[in-house]
């Protein structure tokens, strides 16, 4: 299966999931649109205030009484492995459901998203019996220990840009550690995760350990984070929303948070790169992947002046080779922007950059597409000042700014002159320079001669500065879903 008919994909009547079954929300009804053509294809039944409370209370009850937290860790592992297998086996249903209302093409979902989601569950399941407390050194007449325990109920708020993948980052470590989870997906991409919740029950996860509540941030997300039964919150999204969530957790806890927030990630190309063609292709993909709607999008190109013309020319050619279209079209190489609102924000930033003296070497406007929808041409901007809005602000679209540098010192100064610090890329054939760059760059992840995440789940991801606190993935993410206590026993 490589394509599907979008007219056959809709939502079921009940799109919340509480206590092991679908639940019709009694909150605000919301239209859900296909970004590929702008049409409303389903209605979302948001959870009402009482239902959000009930979902958390049910998760708490499941934590206390289901036995999930206290069961043999390897038994938890087996359930999560079955869950992962069921997700992969359900591709014929899950992939179209994920693609129709999102910016992810059906080909990308089948090739990567579903298998990555399943493997994320398997990876964290393996930690269930491999991380715990330890015995500490003390005098012979005492036994000192640290003991780890799950928090109880973890609230997770997931974004729209990679719906299943980002949800897996939140739910997999929390559930593997023995917690219950209440997830609020984005109201723009709400449906596929409900099917995943059904598969969890089929795999043997006790009812209530994973609940899903639907709605917007104000009516559902905020009260979920503030609920007194919620002991930890994990969020991926904008820096502004992350600050609001952190404030809510401080006011109602304090409770710990994991925040993966915005980015304005530099890609540095040195003249000594062994393959400038490959470097240019990597840079181009890092900003056009998912139409630039990725937190770690490499949105700032810093290229050494002596090779700038060649690298920019290659990137322009890569940009102009894209075929934009619907997520269900097999020929699509670059999909839509999530909404008209987001497209308007992208276009506004670019328009202001051009008015301030910048030049769009290619793109710079809305894309003509074979159907109605929200599409923006991959855009390369030059001639901008370092303090330009387009250079400093997260655009979250396929817009790449270009600046040149003469030497390493200037490259790192430009790269670090940002409020964000999520990721960075470096292209060089010099190992010493690669190591210097890795240390010099103020970013939570540095890629060398590549850009973007892979299936190396052991590598944590998270940012510096306004890009967030805490880590997703890696042992750090699993440990962040456990609290520890100290015990000292007099013998």
Distances (CA, A) of 104 to 28, 114, 264, 368: 27, 11, 21, 19
Residue at token pair 């899903």: 212
Residue at token pair 């970004």: 35
* CA quadruple 5, 8, 9, 15: dihedral, nearest 10: 180
CA distance 249 to 258: 11
Task: Provide φ and ψ at 268, rounded to 5°.
Answer: -100, 125
CA distance 85 to 68: 20
The answer to whether the CB of 427 falls within 8 A of the CB of 449 is yes
Using N-to-C axis directions, what is the helix angle for 163-176 and 91-100, rounded to 10°?
120
Q: Which of 98, 260, 309, 442 is catalytic?
A: 260
Closest by alpha carbon to 412, among 268, 280, 287?
268
The set of residues, in sequence order, having a beta carbon less than 8 Å from that of 186 and lying 6+ positions away, is 158, 159, 160, 163
Q: Which two tokens stand for residue 429?
A: 């054939």
Q: Which of 149, 295, 309, 359 is catalytic?
A: 295
295 given a catalytic annotation: yes
The answer to whether the CB of 337 falls within 8 A of the CB of 397 is yes
249 given a catalytic annotation: no
CA distance 281 to 383: 22
DSSP string, 59-90: HHHHHHHSSTTTS-HHHHHHHHHHHHHHHHHT
Cis peptide before 254 (omega within 30 of 0): yes
The answer to whether the CB of 438 falls within 8 A of the CB of 408 is no
DSSP string, 380-416: EEES--TT-HHHHS---SSEEEEEEESSHHHHHHHHH
Task: Provide φ and ψ at 294, rounded to 5°.
Answer: -140, 135
Q: List the catalytic residues.
A: 260, 295
């Amino acid at each position: 299966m490589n394509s599907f008919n979008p007219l056959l994909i809709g939502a079921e009547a009940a799109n919340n999931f509480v206590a092991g079954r679908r639940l019709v929300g009694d909150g605000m009804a919301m239209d859900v649109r296909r970004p590929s053509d702008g049409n409303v294809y389903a209605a979302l039944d948001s959870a009402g205030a009482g239902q959000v409370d009930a979902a958390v209370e049910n998760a708490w009850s499941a934590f206390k009484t289901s036995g999930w937290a206290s069961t043999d860790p390897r038994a938890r592992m087996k359930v999560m492995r079955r869950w992962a297998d069921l997700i992969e086996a359900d591709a014929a249903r899950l992939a179209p459901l994920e693609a129709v209302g999102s910016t992810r093409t059906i080909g990308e979902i089948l090739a990567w998203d579903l298998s990555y989601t399943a493997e994320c569950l398997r990876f964290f399941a393996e930690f269930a019996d491999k991380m715990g407390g330890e015995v500490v050194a003390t005098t012979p007449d005492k036994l000192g220990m640290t003991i780890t325990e799950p928090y109880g109920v973890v609230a997770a708020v997931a974004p729209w840009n990679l719906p299943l993948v980002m949800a897996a980052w939140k739910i997999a470590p929390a559930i593997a550690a023995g917690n219950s989870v209440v997830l609020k997906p984005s109201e723009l991409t709400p449906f596929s995760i409900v099917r995943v919740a059904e598969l969890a029950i089929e795999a043997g996860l006790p009812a209530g350990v994973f609940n899903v509540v639907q709605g917007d941030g104000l009516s559902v997300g905020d009260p979920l984070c503030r609920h007194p039964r919620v002991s930890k919150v994990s969020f991926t999204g904008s820096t502004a929303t992350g600050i609001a969530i952190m404030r809510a957790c401080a006011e109602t806890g304090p409770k710990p948070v994991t925040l993966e927030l915005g980015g304005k990630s530099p890609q540095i190309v040195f003249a000594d790169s062994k393959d400038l063609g490959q470097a240019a292709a990597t840079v181009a993909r890092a900003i056009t992947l998912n139409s630039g709607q990725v937190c770690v999008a490499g949105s700032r190109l810093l290229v050494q002046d002596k090779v700038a013309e060649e690298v920019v020319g290659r990137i322009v050619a890569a940009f102009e080779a894209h075929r934009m279209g619907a997520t269900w079209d097999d020929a699509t190489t670059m999909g839509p922007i999530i909404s008209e609102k987001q497209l308007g924000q992208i276009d506004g930033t670019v328009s202001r950059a051009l008015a301030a003296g910048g030049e769009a070497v290619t793109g710079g406007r809305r894309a003509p597409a074979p159907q109605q929808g929200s599409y923006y041409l991959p855009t390369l901007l030059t001639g901008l000042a370092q303090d330009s809005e387009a250079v400093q602000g997260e655009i979250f679209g396929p817009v790449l700014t270009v600046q040149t540098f003469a030497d390493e010192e200037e490259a790192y100064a430009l790269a670090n002159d940002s409020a964000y610090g999520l990721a960075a890329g470096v292209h060089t054939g010099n190992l010493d320079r690669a190591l210097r760059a890795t240390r010099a760059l103020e970013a939570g992840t540095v890629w060398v001669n590549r850009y973007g995440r892979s299936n190396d789940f052991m590598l944590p991801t998270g940012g510096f500065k306004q890009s967030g606190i805490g880590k997703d993935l890696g042992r750090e993410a699993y440990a962040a879903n456990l609290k520890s206590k100290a015990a000292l026993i007099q013998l």
